[in-house]
Amino acid sequence: MAPLAPPAQPSARRAVLFAFAQRYFSFALQLGTSVILARLLTPQETGIFSLAATAVAIGAIVREFGIGDYLVSQKELTPEKIRAAFTVTVAVAWIIAVVIALAAYPLAALYNEPGVARVMHILCLNFMLLPLGATTMALLVKALKFDIVFVIQAGSALVGAAVTILCALNGLSYTSPAWGSVASIVATFVLLMLLQPQAARMRPSFRNLRQVLQFGGKNTMSRIVEGVSTRADDFIISGMLGFHSSGILSKSNSLNAGFYTFFASAVVSVASPLMARARHSGREIAEDYRRVTLQIAAVQWLFFGVMGICAHEIILLLFGPNWVEAVPILQIGAVQGLIYAPFMLCTPVLTAYGAMGAQLRVNLVFGATLATCLLIGAMHSLIAAAALSVIAHTVRLLLLARAAKAVCGISTYEIVRSMGPTAAMAVGAAVATLLGRSLAEWLQLPLVLNLGVAVASGGLACLGLAVAFKHPISAELKRLRRKPAGL
């Protein structure tokens, strides 16, 4: 089978726009689904699904086995390497499906909740279908064919959201999101077969298996440690504070994760293959790295600044008064998001340079630090656990920056020193958001208008300051407005 990448590579800017379009569509759909489910499922039911999904998500890291990163990082991608990657993907996924199905029973017994096992068994179905198209999806990303990726992922997200809501309306409780996830994977597979029929002709091969396994082994160990670490809060909070608290934490985390899932991941999905190409061609990436980091930081600081200031309005408007306990957790997550901004590209640059060992070492330290912080915090309260977890995430970011400096010479600290105008934009946007919120409260506007005035005030202030400071994000917006044909 020939690689999917065409001789003439698609525009990077076009790829970014389609990646953003897909993420924004999915974000809006997921947010709408979450708003509806918050009124159909209780925090207890949400906590049960969250714990089961977290356990399965760790298995999903093993299932992926770093195959997508392997295909992206390869300079010469032959049909034999593609078939070997497909072989490993299917074999690992089906083995993990069996392991998860068996592990569901002791985990449910440990938390004394049989619903955990029910959800895990449903989600196991994803492992049987997903690997059949995973290799083809990775090749589409490597080829920057994000227009096709957009159609597939947007269509599958729509199907998944519809099935989730229908199941919840029909009383399927905490299993509703699980059935929605399965429906989404089925839709992905069907759309992939329709748009990329060659995916159905993918055949296994045992040539080049050693190379795939060596790369995937290091990558997977790093991702497992990272996955267990970042999801440790579900296990620890559920065990020490109960499913109600884990449901509250899950709901606030879903909002905080929205930025990473639907904005940052769009940038990273394009940045990883582009940085890998630059590495293979010997081209310097430091200036592009700095410019993109500044653009991401401007959006990220605006997003989390508004979220922290308007957390109460956001929770009440989206989820209702039953979830008001999530407000301080959401604000703590916003602080973490502000800290994360300058470090967003550290992980993809390490992946592009094949530094799996460095990522593994960082994640081992992070995992131990986060577990310690969560255990200490959970002895007191959910808020204390969330607050102490920020320390662990900060340690991880500093270690990632040091690793990126050692691997490719890019200094995150030098970039931070150049972020004065970006920080001024963020402060100005925060002040404008506070003033807009205060004005709306003084006028006694409805909740939705209160939030709308605050968000609009912060956004307009950010754009105005970007133009005044000649920030890279304003230059990018002008370029897109003047040259739509050049995408």
The full DSSP string for 397-465 is HHHHHHHHHHHH---HHHHHHT-HHHHHHHHHHHHHHHHHHHHHHHTT--HHHHHHHHHHHHHHHHHHH
Q: Which of 414, 434, 378, 88 has its CA nearest to residue 233?
A: 378
Compute the chain's Rg from CA coordinates.
22
What does the pLDDT read at residue 487?
Answer: 45
**pLDDT above 90 (res 332):** yes
* CB-based contacts of 220, cutoff 8 Å, min separation 6: 61, 62, 64, 65, 66
CA end-to-end distance (rounded Å), the chain: 29
What does the pLDDT read at residue 439?
Answer: 92
Torsion of CA 152, 153, 154, 157, to 10 degrees: 120
Asked if 24 and 258 touch (Cβ cutoff 8 Å), the reply is no
CA distances from 271 to 142, 264, 287 (A): 10, 10, 14
Return the higher-pLDDT residue of 413 and 175.
175
What does the pLDDT read at residue 69?
Answer: 61
CA distances from 58 to 86, 220, 226, 229, 311 (A): 20, 10, 9, 10, 29
CB atoms within 10 A of CB 260: 14
Relative orientation angle of helices 286-309 and 243-259, to the nearest 10 degrees: 130
CB atoms within 10 A of CB 376: 12
Q: What is the pLDDT of residues 436-465, one digit of tens each?
A: 999 988 988 888 898 899 999 999 998 888
CA angle 256, 262, 265 (to 5 degrees): 105
**pLDDT above 90 (res 430):** yes
What does the pLDDT read at residue 215?
Answer: 59
What does the pLDDT read at residue 148?
Answer: 78
* CB-based contacts of 373, cutoff 8 Å, min separation 6: 385, 388, 389, 391, 392
**pLDDT above 50 (res 8):** no
What does the pLDDT read at residue 435?
Answer: 94
What does the pLDDT read at residue 249?
Answer: 86
φ, ψ of residue 143 to 5 degrees: the values are: -85, 0
- Any idea which residue has 């200490």 for tokens? 376
What does the pLDDT read at residue 162?
Answer: 93
Half-sphere exposure of 381 (CA within 13 A, CB side): 7
H or E, element range at 174: none
pLDDT-based confidence at residue 5 (cuts at 50, 70, 90): very low
- Any idea which residue has 């899950």 for tokens? 250
What does the pLDDT read at residue 138?
Answer: 67
Half-sphere exposure of 317 (CA within 13 A, CB side): 16
φ, ψ of residue 180 to 5 degrees: the values are: -65, -40
Relative orientation angle of helices 420-442 and 286-309, to the nearest 10 degrees: 20
Model-level pTM?
0.67
Q: What is the pLDDT of residues 239-296, one digit of tens each?
A: 888 888 888 888 888 788 777 766 666 666 666 666 666 666 666 677 777 777 888 8
What does the pLDDT read at residue 484?
Answer: 47
**pLDDT above 80 (res 96):** yes
Q: What is the pLDDT of residues 56-73, one digit of tens each?
A: 877 776 666 556 666 665
Q: Which of 339, 318, 319, 295 has its CA nearest to residue 462?
A: 295
Mean pLDDT of the chain: 79
